[in-house]
Amino acid sequence: MTSRSLNPPQPPNHSVHMSSGFEGDDRMSQQQLATKPTLARELSRKHSNMAPAGRPAMEFKNATRVQDSVTSIFEHRALLWLAAHLPAWVSSDQLTFLGFVAMFLAGCSYFLAHWHPVGLLLATMFLALNWFGDSLDGTLARVRNRQRPRYGFYVDHMIDSFGALFLMAGLGLSGYVDWRIAMGMLIAFLLLSIETYLASYTLGVFRLSFAKLGPTEIRILLGFGNFVLWLHPNIRVPGLSWRLLDFAGLVAIPAMGIMVVSAAVWHTAELYRQETQSQ
């Protein structure tokens, strides 16, 4: 009895049978583990091609840029030369930020012109600096082959919208332009911008100029007007009682309105034609 209590009976040893029974499962598990990295890569690849809503993400395609303004040929050559000679530490993001700050300071300079005409000269200087940053950032990215088309398009034109707000607010507070005319120019500009961006998305054409006038020509005209007003602050349009920039604004507002309406009608007809014929 003592021997039985010290050495209780052991259960039969089925270890050989157990290992042989799970041999197939072990081999299957090893095969599954071996294929897991491949499956993970495949799932990751499929997931990367899906939009957040579960739909396939569309590939971004740059719109065709149309720039046929008066100075476009000379401006293009100058920008290429500047981009090729800029130091390596200068980036397109820095130029974008420079253009944004310069437009803000141009608006502040017009506000300063309410008390001192030197603000007109400062506004001209900052408009030139805005041209340098705003026009050169995209050229530099293309020359260095460091393009970010979606990021660049979005950031650049959001900054343009805020820049127009700064500029028109400064003009409206300068005393050289009636604030209602300044706000009318802002509204007309934003409508024209919206139409341009919608056409870029739906038709793949990004028009940078209208009637041979683009952003560079507008800056040049503003700079010329600033210089004239610095010399003759109270100048009036000959034969009329309107101030110089008031008259310019009253011409610019309907001109931009005509551009918006004509472009909207043309693009609507073009989209209707394309999508009706494709059905």
Q: What confidence tier does 117 reach under pLDDT thresholds 50, 70, 90?
A: very high
Residue 232 makes CB contacts below 8 A (sequence gap 6+) with: none
Give the model confidence (pLDDT) of 246-267 as tens digits: 999 999 999 999 999 999 999 9
**Residue 36 domain flag:** no
Q: What confidence tier does 233 reach under pLDDT thresholds 50, 70, 90?
A: confident
Of 26-30, 41-45, 206-210, where does the model show the most confidence? 206-210
**Residue 20 domain flag:** no
- Give the long-range contacts of residues 75-79, CB within 8 A, separation 24 or more: 75/135, 75/216, 79/135, 79/136, 79/139
Query: Burial, 176: exposed, middle or buried (Cβ in 10 Å; 0-12, 13-18, 19+)?
Result: buried
> Mean pLDDT throughout 144-165?
91
> Mean pLDDT throughout 1-26?
43
Give the model confidence (pLDDT) of 60-100 as tens digits: 667 777 777 888 889 899 999 999 999 999 999 999 999 99
Task: State the pLDDT at residue 126.
Answer: 97
Please answer whether residues 218 and 167 qualify as being in contact, where contact means their C-beta atoms are separated by less than 8 angstroms: no
Distance, in Å, from the CA atom of 33 to the CA atom of 120, rounded to the nearest integer, reads 73
**Residue 125 domain flag:** yes
Task: State the pLDDT at residue 5.
Answer: 40
Task: State the pLDDT at residue 58.
Answer: 54
pTM: 0.74
Percent of the residues in the chain that have a pLDDT greater than 70, as a whole number: 77
pLDDT at 59 over 70: no
> Mean pLDDT throughout 37-46?
44
Reported as type and span, the H/E element at residue 237 is none
Query: DSSP characters for the chain?
Result: -HHHHHSPPPPP--HHHHHHHTHHHHHHHHHHHHHHHHHHHHHHHHHHTB-TTSSBPPPP-PPEEE---TTHHHHHHHHHHHHHHS-TT--HHHHHHHHHHHHHHHHHHHHHTTT-THHHHHHHHHHHHHHHHHHHHHHHHHHTT---HHHHHHHHHHHHHHHHHHHHHHHHHHSSS-HHHHHHHHHHHHHHHHHHHHHHHHHSEEE--BTTB-HHHHHHHHHHHHHHHHH-TT-B-TTS--BHHHHHHHHHHHHHHHHHHHHHHHHHHHHHHHHHHT-
**Residue 14 domain flag:** no
**Residue 144 domain flag:** yes
> Mean pLDDT throughout 242-247?
90
**Residue 58 domain flag:** no
Number of domains, the chain: 1
**Residue 51 domain flag:** no
Question: Which range marks the domain in which residue 105 is found?
Answer: 64-277
Of 135, 138, 141, 72, nearest to 103 by C-alpha is: 135
User: Angle at the Cα of 135 (from 131 to 136), degrees rounded to 5?
Assistant: 110
Task: State the pLDDT at residue 45.
Answer: 45
Of 215, 195, 192, nearest to 203 by C-alpha is: 195
- Residue 258 belongs to domain with CATH number: 1.20.120.1760
**Residue 130 domain flag:** yes
